[in-house]
Amino acid sequence: MPSNPRALHITFGAYGMRLHGDPRGTVIRSLNHPTDPILGRDEDWQQEELDRLRFDPVTLTDPQRAVAEQLLPSICDKTRCTCHINAVRPDHVHILLTPAQCVDELSPALSEHDAKTIRRLIKRRLSVGLSQRWPLPPGANWWAECGSIKWVWDAQYFTNVLNYIKRQRLT
């Protein structure tokens, strides 16, 4: 098996749009195992999460989504990644990218820390790009804290992710 993945499928949510206890169900990564059921709706838990928000949840408008989809390839370039495709939904973002480190066989293996750093840089740069057009209140965020990073090792999974993201694009 190669030391580096073929690509990363990075997903992150808009601020306040994916709260524990909402009707979609909840997974707590530190507690759940892959075969555990998703925790169901819990209105009290969801309200606790809403009460903790410092700002209103962010729902991306179509113009904001279009600008974000346009900005992401150049943001990935600045992060030394190739953006294969991205999709910006009203409440989350998907990006399929390959870090330069994964292409260079002489580079050390990509670590989980490296992947999280890439996600953090992309979120920060995308926030700057969106805020230039649509300023947020001081201290507000476009994005939720975490997100998901799936390592894409083979061609079939790469194609599946590519097609999945393609179906969700606005532009």
Q: Which of 41-50, 88-97, 158-167 is least confident?
A: 41-50
Spatial distance between the Cα atoms of 122 and 129, rounded to a whole number of angstroms: 11
Cβ(109)–Cβ(4) under 8 Å? yes
Q: Is 31 part of a structural domain of the chain?
A: no
145 by Cβ neighbours in 10 Å (0-12 / 13-18 / 19+) ranks as exposed
> Position of tokens 């759940």?
32
Which residue type is seen at 92?
H
Q: Which pLDDT tens digit goes with each residue over 22-56?
A: 666 666 666 666 677 767 666 776 677 777 878 98
Domain membership of residue 148 as a residue range: 7-13+59-166
Counted domains in the chain? 1
Q: Is 28 part of a structural domain of the chain?
A: no
Q: Is 26 part of a structural domain of the chain?
A: no
Q: What's this model's pTM, rounded to 2 decimal places?
A: 0.86
Reported as type and span, the H/E element at residue 118 is helix 112-133
Nearest 5°: the CA angle 154, 159, 165 is 125
Q: Is 118 part of a structural domain of the chain?
A: yes
- Among residues 85, 114, 91, 124, which one has the least CA distance to residue 5? 114
Q: Is 39 part of a structural domain of the chain?
A: no
The CATH number given to whatever domain includes residue 92 is 3.30.70.1290
Flag whether pLDDT at 61 surpasses 90.
yes
Q: Is 82 part of a structural domain of the chain?
A: yes
Q: Which pLDDT tens digit goes with each residue over 94-153?
A: 999 999 887 766 567 888 889 999 999 999 999 999 999 999 999 999 999 888 999 999
